[in-house]
Every structure is written in C-alpha cells, then in structure tokens.
Structure 1
Amino acid sequence: MQSSKEEFLARINKVSKDTLMETLEIEIVDYGDDFLIARMPVTSKVHQPDGVLHGGATAALAESVGSFASHIFTDLENYFVRGLEVTANHLKSVKEGFVYAKATFLHKGRTTQLLDIRVTDDDDNLISICRLSTISLPKKK
C-alpha cells in the first residue's frame, strides 16, 4: 500500500502526461511544507550541440517545478496560476546523470508569488540558480 506522500506524488506526476514535462522526463520527486523538488535526466535529448545540458531545458525544469509549487499551494477551485517571468543563471555544466530543481517560496502573496529554484547535479553541485514569478488570478464564475 502506498503512503499518502507516494500517492500525492503519483497523482501530480500523472497530470504531466502529453506535456513538455513528459517529453523532458521531468518528475516531481519530493515535497514539504515549503518546498517542491523535481528531477530531470541529462541525456542527449536535453543536450546542446557540444554535449552538455542545454540552458533552455534547465529553464523548463525550473519553470515546471516552480509552477507546480504555486499550483499546489493555491486554491485552484477559485484561482488559476500563470508564470510571469523566469530567469536562470547557469554556473556549471552537466553531461549526464540527473539534475534536481528545488523550488522554495521567497514570497507567497495572495496574487503574486516569487520562487527561488536551485538546480543541482547528482553530487549536489550547484548548476543553476533560477527565479520564477507567478500570478494567481480569479476564475470567472
């Protein structure tokens, strides 16, 4: 029998079917009261031509985990969430293995949210530092 955490992770990963997250094999792997972690395999599918992780794939990972975090902590019955801006500073190259993106809130406002996303490799080396701002807008009744 799965624990509630495993069930939750399975449920949120299921919504990634037929999306960019599925294409890039991004998977949510852990969460807590103030964070969400996703991982992505580093293969030729996400390489730039010289054989290292493409910055755009890293930005897609960061936006995916940050957006998921905003969704999880928002009243989705009454609001929808959209990304406003993503930035990424790439500090180190990766050729293989996995990269992990940990999203934490810097600001969790009623309307806008700002997330810090740290991308690390299998050895916990810092690969990129990203920021994502999102907005929660009321659904029309």
Structure 2
Amino acid sequence: MTEQEKQETLDFLNNWGNGLLAKNLGILFTQLTEDSLSATMPVTEKVHQPFGIMHGGASCVLAETLGSCLSNVFLDTEKFYAVGTNINSNHLRSISKGTVTGTAKFIRKGKTVHVSEIKIRNEKGELINYTTMTNNVIAK
C-alpha cells in the first residue's frame, strides 16, 4: 500500500459513519501500516463513568472500532466484510482526562477469521487497556 493509498484510507475512515458511535466519541484514525491501524479518542466527561474516569465501555468502543476497521481495510470489500464475534478487554489503568491512542495489530489474518490485539495507551505511553478481538470474514 502506497503512502497515498494509506492517507486515502485514513480519510475514508475518518469521514465514514457520521453520526454513529465512533464519531460521537471523537475517534480519529491517525496511522495505517501494512499490519496495524491506530486512532485517538479524547477522554472527557462524555466518556466518563460516575467515578470520573473513562468508562470501560468507551475503551471497548475504541478497541472494537479499531479491530473491525483493521479487518475491513485489508479485505476485498466488493466480496467480503468482517464482523466482530468476540471481544475480551482488560482494563489495566484508569484515566480521567487527555487523549488515548489505540493500535490494532493482527495476531492472525486468515481467510475466514481475523484475530487482533488492540493496545490503548495514555499520553505517557502507559498501557491502560489490552483487548483481543475476533472477526469473522463473511462473503457478501
């Protein structure tokens, strides 16, 4: 994938699904490599739980958004699409403000199943969430 193709893909992802959950949480795709996809999400009161820290569900939304998009970016979308079938998320550290960055990488990229790991870090680079996700690849 050329640098121009990577940028076009990031632009597509950042303009896809206006009004949907990922957009409402401010998720912004920032980097695409041959086997990974990264995005940021602001940590504001919008994603807090009652104790004033980021809700675990917000971490899961970022992780699942990255894992799903990673799979679909590397498929022939004229013939296939990928959907999440399992997510396992470990909340390791809390955060109340700032920006988190998530990066999804393939553990296995098979013909019918993709498994990815998603690491979400705070601005200091500390791991706050570790997620694994399974996607089934389905023929259209």
Superposition TM-score, scaled by structure 2 size: 0.94
Q: Which amino acid aligns with 2:25?
A: L
Q: Could you tell me how far 1:9 is from its partner in structure 2?
A: 1.5
CA–CA distance in structure 1, aligned partners of residues 17 and 40 of structure 2: 13
Q: Which amino acid aligns with 2:26?
A: E
Structure 1 counterpart of 2:95 = 94
More displaced 10-residue stretch of structure 1: 3-12 or 27-36:
3-12
User: Secondary structure of 1:106's match?
Assistant: strand
1:28-43 to structure 2, matched below 5 A, reads 28-43=29-44
Query: Which 5+ residue runs of structure 1 have no aligned equivalent?
Result: none
User: Secondary structure of 1:130's match?
Assistant: strand
Query: Which 5+ residue runs of structure 2 have no aligned equivalent?
Result: none
Q: Could you tell me how far 1:75 is from its partner in structure 2?
A: 1.1
CA–CA distance in structure 2, aligned partners of residues 112 and 6 of structure 1: 26
Structure 2 counterpart of 1:125 = 126
Q: How many residues align?
A: 137
CA–CA distance in structure 2, aligned partners of residues 16 and 125 of structure 1: 30
Structure 2 counterpart of 1:84 = 85
Structure 1 counterpart of 2:60 = 59
Q: Which amino acid aligns with 2:34?
A: D
Superposition TM-score, scaled by structure 1 size: 0.93
